[in-house]
Amino acid sequence: MAKLTYPKYTNLCGWNAMLPARQARAALTGDLTVDYAVVGAGYTGFAVARRIQELDPQARIAVLEATTVGEGSSARNSGFTGAHLLPRNATVEMAEKARVQGRFYAEAFDWLMSIVRDNGIECDIRHAGSIRAAATELGEASLRKVVEVARVNDIAHSVLSRDDIRSRIGSSYYRFGIHMEDSVLLQPAALIRGLADALPSSVSLYENTPVTAIRRQDGWVLETPGGVVTCKRMALATNGFIPRFGYLKSRMATIYTYAAVTEEIPEARLGEIGESDAWGLLPSHRLGTTLRRIGRNRVMVRSLYAHETEIDQKQATAALRARFNRRWPDLADIRFEYLWGGTTAFTMNGAPWWGQLDDGLYASGGCNGSGIAKGTMLGRHLGELMLGHGGTHDALARSIGRASWIAPEPLRTIGFHLVSAFESRKAGMEM
């Protein structure tokens, strides 16, 4: 098998840079034999490892991470999470399905929060809820359907007018919104770093340890630059990078998306970013822009998508700048202090792929823009599946669906560009 590629980002993760420096765990040097190997130290990988350890405390488990914890996408995201992950395109016809999914998300979210509490992980959790907002007529129509589902499923929410949104975020850009009361906002790099520190002692974490090839040999053998890992069972928890191992190539692709954080906005101008100390806003269209007020005096902007490779940094900066300026023209002189890209896995129907790929080989990917709770949920179930525990896996699989087929290259790239041109036109000012 050819040596596979793993994430190497152009810029450091801004969330990680805003925290004190962290000492990474040592890379693997020498060969290692374990019962279970997990590739990828993100929400999914940590959930797999922790669940296996909970159910089989004697098991020897190794987690192998190509970069360092705090530099992967689990830290590069926008930090929105919660127990109620209603899809952006939810309609009342999907309410029952959303209710079943909601039970699984809530179970995973509660589990994650109990780990946070029990281990004293400080990740700046704000129970601020999240705003879903629309700047266009089309966006408003789609959000009104989400309001219906929230009402039918009894999910705590309130409807926001343009003035309501303006008073919260200081911008009159949006015409309609819904405030999801139960969502939480957190510092993702602090959370994933905390989860690494909280790993039980029977789980060994190796950072700066990319897995460069895997092969079957009386179990599985994983090659890394510093040594070989031999195990009975292994999990690929590498999200958009699973296809680089030669699996699920026709199910998912790597997608890059970008975020920027402003410098600290002077005290006298804080009124321009609204009355709430902490807020988060999600777009009504999938190509839209996510916004957050963080650390009281900064704003984060997340937008843009690129297929398989990073886009030029100047282009990313200019695009994010334009989105920020459209919303806060009076803050156009405020600089971006951080800008970074991160990856998710694109799947055609938005559903993840989760389960067994081969004898002793398991994978979970495609948790997309909700990976904090969804990656945790899928990783937890994958850990149970790897141990042969029965339970609710079939119900979970039925409720979340399965990533559908995607055309191979070169059709895929052509398709990506066509769909993104079409969707960008549709998204319009939601971007």
Ligand X SMILES: Cc1cc2nc3c(=O)[nH]c(=O)nc-3n(C[C@H](O)[C@H](O)[C@H](O)COP(=O)(O)OP(=O)(O)OC[C@H]3O[C@@H](n4cnc5c(N)ncnc54)[C@H](O)[C@@H]3O)c2cc1C
**Residue 109 C-beta: closest distance to ligand X, Å:** 10
The residues that touch ligand X, with contacts defined as CB under 6 A, are 4, 6-7, 39-45, 64-67, 72-74, 76-81, 210-211, 237-239, 241, 257, 259, 302, 342-344, 367-372, 375
Nearer Cβ to ligand X (9/162): 9
Q: Which of 311, 290, 312, 309 is nearest to 299 (CA)?
A: 290
Task: Give the shortest CB-271-to-ligand X separation in angstroms.
Answer: 26
CB of residue 364 to ligand X, shortest distance in Å: 7
- Of 105 and 176, nearer to ligand X (C-beta) is 105
The one-letter amino acid code at 58 reads Q
- Comparing CB distances to ligand X, the nearer of 80 and 247 is 80
Closest to ligand X by CB, 79 or 102: 79
Please, which residue, 135 or 255, has the CB nearer to ligand X? Answer: 255
Choose between 7 and 194: whose C-beta lies nearer to ligand X.
7
| CB proximity list for 307: less than 8 A, separation 6 or greater | 253, 254, 255, 256, 346, 412, 413, 416, 417
* Of residues 78 and 142, the one with the C-beta less far from ligand X: 78
The smaller minimum CB distance to ligand X, of residues 92 and 355, is found at 355
Least separation in angstroms between CB 196 and ligand X = 11
Between 167 and 317, name the residue whose CB sits nearer to ligand X. Answer: 317
| Closest approach of ligand X to the CB of residue 77, in Å | 3
Least distance from C-beta 192 to ligand X, angstroms?
A: 8
Tokens of 113: 């929060």
- The least distance separating ligand X from the CB of residue 143, rounded to whole angstroms, comes to 18
Closest distance of CB 124 from ligand X, Å:
14
Which CB, 69 or 155, lies closer to ligand X? 69
3 state SS for the chain: CCCCCCCCCCCCCHHHHCCCCCCCCCCCCCCEECCEEEECCCHHHHHHHHHHHHHCCCCCEEEECCCCCCCCHHHHCCCEECCCCCCCCCCHHHHHHHHHHHHHHHHHHHHHHHHHHHCCCCCCCECCCEEEEECCHHHHHHHHHHHHHHHHCCCCEEEEEHHHHHHHHCCCCCCEEEEECCCEECCHHHHHHHHHHCCCCCEEEECCCCCCEEEECCCEEEEECCEEEEECEEEECCHHHHHHHCCCCCCEEEEEEEEEEECCCCHHHHHHHCCCCCCEEEECCCCCCEEEEECCCEEEEEEEEEECCCCCHHHHHHHHHHHHHHHCHHHCCCCEEEEEEEEEEEECCCCCEEEEEECCEEEEECCHHHHHHHHHHHHHHHHHHHCCCCCCHHHHHHHHCCCCCCCCCCHHHHHHHHHHHHHHHHHHHHC
Q: How far is the CB of 346 from ligand X (least distance, A)?
A: 11
Compute the least distance from the CB of residue 88 to ligand X, in Å.
12
CB closest to ligand X, residue no: 371
